[in-house]
Structure 1
Amino acid sequence: MKKILKYSLLLVVLAIIYVVYTNYPRLNIISGYSAKNMSSSVFLAGRTLEVTDNQDNNFSPINIAEDKINIEDKSATASVYGFMNRKAIYREGLGSVLIFDDFNKGTPFLVPNRTNISTDIPYPYGNGEQKDTVFSNVNYNELQTAVSNAFDKNEEYSIKTRAVVVIYKDQIIAEKYAEGFDKDAKILGWSMTKSITSAVLGILEKQGKINVNQKNLFPEWENDDRSKITLNNLLQMNSGLEWDEDYNTMSDVTKMLFLNKDMTKTQLEKPLIGEPNNSWNYSSGTSNLLSGYIRNQFKTHQEYLDFWYAELIDKIGMNSMLIETDLTGNYIGSSYGWATPRDWAKFGLLYLHKGNWNGEQLLNESWVNYTATPTNGSNGEYGAHFWLNAGGVYPNAPKDIFSCNGYQGQRVFIIPSKEMVIVRMGLTEDSSFNFDAFLKEMISAIN
């Protein structure tokens, strides 16, 4: 019996050594992801450690990390079998961020000034209850069936949808949440945040402060061919800059998100390896480079922090939204925007209405059209930090759909021909969740 126990213990130890050895180069990423996500989930979104571990962090290899939270100092730590301990702290107004050994907790930091314009005006222009509106051309039974089909049934956990909001002619005509979520639940949009970054640039364009054809975007590029890269090239992910967007290895994107203090610099320092406008390559580094470009348009960091909220987020009543910053205080415009599904839908409505919000033109209509114009080399799939259906990715849905897309199946679909915005938030991609069927069923309910 003792020999059996000894051999069993040895096998366990060897298994642990094998896992650590094979994953060691990635341990920084694994524990960093787990700690950062845990801190944001608990202190920003108000969920528990148990829920976060069982749902958000419950996939390989992140699920081999062990998480702990400290309520008093609003921090989360994670390690893998005791190796590579990482810590993330929550800063009110800025969200959670991974810290390093040289971090000084007493260092002051700026926070954005917020304007809460939540009113009793009916949604979407306020947060009040909508007036009862029944559309004769909407088959509500069919619509409810379509919405229900987007969620797990009978205690299964494979589709993993957390929220669906369907808006038609500015009215919520269907809405459903998974257990533990409701209309006030903040959910991470991941790369949907890229579309927010694009909108901020659109507002600067409307105000006459930038032009998409600008070159010589950064002093660091003045003396080489990168000076020829235009703002348009960056917005369309077509700059020709080197970038590896691989989340399964120690790649450019994982190093940026989990090892860098200033995420606006990662893409800035990359060489040109392709031809601008002929080298489409999806890059989160480009989105954070654009955040840095936006920062350069302001004299002070406070102005930069305030602008995103004052001119866009709070102006359209996305009061739940928070875009997290890196350690240097720059918005992580690639990945870390949190908001309720209803507030994500408001952003979709801004684009559905060609940049007009309740009578005020925040974006030029031409900017919205530009956003939904396919970039060269993307096969009709990508515009200016928005995804498109022009190439027929969703064959059973209208070609004019454009959308904000995020990791694990976050979506804000804008459908101009149907006057619709559809939001889906969850934890599964297209392989486990059929977005084409989802859209077809939703749209078919409206005659």
Structure 2
Amino acid sequence: MKKILTILLGGATALLLTLALLAPSLLGFSITQLGNAVRVATGMGAKLACSARFVSGFSESRIVDDLASYSPANRLLDLQYGERTVTAALFGMGRASASYRDGLGCTLDIGDTRALDQVQMQPVAANGDEWPLGSRVSSIDADLQQRVEAIVAADNSAGLQTRALVVVQNGKLLAEAYGPGIDVETPLLGWSMGKSLTAIMQGRMETLGLADSQVQPVFAEWQDDARAQIALEDLLHMSSGLDFDETYAPGSDATEMLFNAHSASDVAMVSPAAYGPGEHFSYSSGTTNLIARWMHEQLGGDVQASLDFFSREILQPLGMAHTVFELDPSGVFVGSSYIYASGRDWARLGQLMLNRGEWHGEQLLSADWVARAAAPNGSPNESRYGYQFWLNGGGEMLRYPQLPADAYFMKGNRAQVVMISPSTNTVVVRLGWSAGDYPTGENFAGLLPGA
């Protein structure tokens, strides 16, 4: 026994020494952050693998490759797949698990999650009506379809991993192409495009008289300090002034929020004020999760009520039959990051904005709210951001010089993009897994009318 223990301890020591040598140059973190790095790696591995497997239907090999695009260390994870669970471990130094629930997607098993077992998500039935009301598409433009297919093929030859490219003009789906293993029904992770959906939910609440973008203080917990002056609109504009660490490194606010917290919004809730409201734009996923928390509270602080609202007011009217908006372990939508939707469903959200909030004769969002959502904020350092939408114009230069000045975007990590272009009456959706830069401006410009 003593000899066995010596061998085991020696192996553990060798592993730590190896990690100490590899961490700074290969794995991307200091050995002093090893504990946090293990927690992030296992939490991220369990969560993303669970959703990729049970929501998107990806293979185990694709999941490992996707995780490794963030850090080679993720290839060291031991991922174990159960009937509805995924467990991630790293050489015995850390372990995390996530569970899948029908209609809810995957949630990390952190703290008490029993409330999630008591709720149900009302499914959206697909129908055979013409898109966007249904799944039938009879409007494909042969020339545009050829261009879309050529872009997807070129992207994937270059290793950019474009998984869906969809073009809508004048309310008609004119072209779409998909990468290997992806089809028109595959829900794909939008990452921070979920921020725009969170804003749309707030806009729907406002249109129904359930929300006021000028409300302050947003939370009772802020009423006795500088944060009392923050309005909900400041959160929508990412100009709340809260000191939230958005860097994606072991131990940061952002990684703690997404991969280690029972309540994602708790992390940003305690952030102090670093600037006055409206004085400084600072991109913050924590801010979006505060909006999600605020909406959850306005809907009664009840998980089922929040799910019912999302289904009744967003999914059902838009016919989004292939969309999953995931919850944190406490039962609040992770508005910043965790929405999976098909290319066509993402296009439906873009078309709703292009329609100025009107959908099949119903004003789901007020035209005034849509105008405010697509207008610049008042911060002096970055005005090209509306209500959780990135703007092409509204500043000293266009974000994408090749694209119309009035275009605005849902954007997410790995070059997820939904472009809404009012002047050309166009929506373009690109979903993929690009670890580096993606030629959004160049590629989208070639899909606009007259290109």
Give the % identical residues: 31
1:131 Cα offset (Å):
3.2
Partner-residue secondary structure (3-state), 1:266: helix
Query: Among 133, 137, 159, which residue is 1:125 paired with?
Result: 133
**Alignment of structure 1 residues 295-374 onto 2, 5 Å:** 295-299=296-300, 301=302, 302-374=304-376
1:420 Cα offset (Å):
0.7
TM-score, structure 2 normalization: 0.88
1:58 Cα offset (Å):
3.8
- Call closer, same or farther: CA 1:326–1:12 in 2, change over 3 Å: closer
The residue aligned with 2:388 is: 385
Amino acid at match of 2:450: I
Amino acid at match of 2:280: S
Q: Distance in 2 between matches of 1:133 and 1:174?
A: 5
Q: Distance in 1 between matches of 2:361 and 2:131?
A: 15
Q: Does residue 31 of structure 1 match 2:73?
A: no
Partner-residue secondary structure (3-state), 1:432: coil
Unaligned runs of 5+ in 1: 1-9, 135-139
The residue aligned with 1:93 is: 103
User: Retained in 2: the 8 A contact 1:49–1:69?
Assistant: no
The residue aligned with 2:258 is: 257
Q: Write out per-residue CA displacement over residues 17-49 of structure 1, whole angstroms, 9 at most, x where no aligned residue.
A: 534646513111112111111011111221121
The residue aligned with 2:90 is: 80
User: Retained in 2: the 8 A contact 1:320–1:340?
Assistant: yes
User: Retained in 2: the 8 A contact 1:186–1:340?
Assistant: yes
The residue aligned with 2:71 is: 60
User: Retained in 2: the 8 A contact 1:34–1:67?
Assistant: no
- Call closer, same or farther: CA 1:113–1:283 in 2, change over 3 Å: same
Q: Distance in 1 between matches of 2:413 and 2:229?
A: 31
The residue aligned with 2:417 is: 411
Q: Write out per-residue CA displacement over residues 273-322 of structure 1, whole angstroms, 9 at most, x where no aligned residue.
A: 10100111111111111111001212351222211121012221112111
Q: Distance in 2 between matches of 1:150 and 1:292?
A: 37
Q: Distance in 2 between matches of 1:282 and 1:92?
A: 32
Q: Distance in 2 between matches of 1:196 and 1:259?
A: 23
Q: Distance in 1 between matches of 2:95 and 2:123?
A: 38
Of Structure 1 and Structure 2, which has the larger fraction of its residues in helix?
2
Out of 313-322 and 13-22, give the one that drifted further.
13-22
**Alignment of structure 1 residues 205-284 onto 2, 5 Å:** 205-284=206-285
Query: Among 432, 438, 442, which residue is 2:443 paired with?
Result: 438
Amino acid at match of 2:421: I
Partner-residue secondary structure (3-state), 1:446: coil
Partner-residue secondary structure (3-state), 2:44: helix
User: Retained in 1: the 8 A contact 2:112–2:329?
Assistant: no
Q: Distance in 1 between matches of 2:116 and 2:424?
A: 49
User: Retained in 1: the 8 A contact 2:411–2:417?
Assistant: yes
User: Retained in 1: the 8 A contact 2:139–2:173?
Assistant: no
User: Retained in 2: the 8 A contact 1:348–1:413?
Assistant: yes
The residue aligned with 1:4 is: none
1:115 Cα offset (Å):
4.8
Q: Distance in 1 between matches of 2:184 and 2:51?
A: 18
1:133 Cα offset (Å):
6.3
1:114 Cα offset (Å):
1.4
Q: Write out per-residue CA displacement over residues 391-411 of structure 1, whole angstroms, 9 at most, x where no aligned residue.
A: 401001101111111110111
- Call closer, same or farther: CA 1:197–1:112 in 2, change over 3 Å: farther
The residue aligned with 2:165 is: 164
Q: Distance in 2 between matches of 1:261 and 1:12?
A: 30
Amino acid at match of 2:361: G
Partner-residue secondary structure (3-state), 2:404: coil
Q: Does residue 71 of structure 1 match 2:77?
A: no
Q: Write out per-residue CA displacement over residues 120-150 of structure 1, whole angstroms, 9 at most, x where no aligned residue.
A: 21111112x233465xxxxx53662354234
User: Retained in 2: the 8 A contact 1:67–1:76?
Assistant: no
The residue aligned with 2:10 is: none
TM-score, structure 1 normalization: 0.89
Q: Does residue 111 of structure 1 match 2:146?
A: no
- Call closer, same or farther: CA 1:16–1:62 in 2, change over 3 Å: closer
- Call closer, same or farther: CA 1:60–1:132 in 2, change over 3 Å: closer
Q: Distance in 1 between matches of 2:147 and 2:296?
A: 46
Q: Distance in 1 between matches of 2:325 and 2:139?
A: 33
Unaligned runs of 5+ in 2: 1-12, 24-30
Partner-residue secondary structure (3-state), 2:167: strand
1:199 Cα offset (Å):
0.6
Q: Write out per-residue CA displacement over residues 250-274 of structure 1, whole angstroms, 9 at most, x where no aligned residue.
A: 2111111111101122211111110
Q: Write out per-residue CA displacement over residues 336-379 of structure 1, whole angstroms, 9 at most, x where no aligned residue.
A: 00111111100100001000011110000011110111112353
Query: Among 9, 21, 44, which residue is 1:18 paired with?
Result: 21
Partner-residue secondary structure (3-state), 2:423: helix
Q: Distance in 2 between matches of 1:268 and 1:299?
A: 19
User: Retained in 2: the 8 A contact 1:64–1:80?
Assistant: no
Q: Distance in 1 between matches of 2:402 and 2:222?
A: 44
Q: Distance in 1 between matches of 2:18 and 2:444?
A: 44
User: Retained in 2: the 8 A contact 1:31–1:62?
Assistant: no
Query: Among 428, 434, 446, which residue is 1:428 paired with?
Result: 434
Q: Does residue 291 of structure 1 match 2:286?
A: no
Q: Distance in 2 between matches of 1:202 and 1:291?
A: 12
User: Retained in 2: the 8 A contact 1:150–1:438?
Assistant: no
Q: Distance in 2 between matches of 1:167 and 1:39?
A: 31
Q: Distance in 1 between matches of 2:315 and 2:322?
A: 9
1:93 Cα offset (Å):
2.6
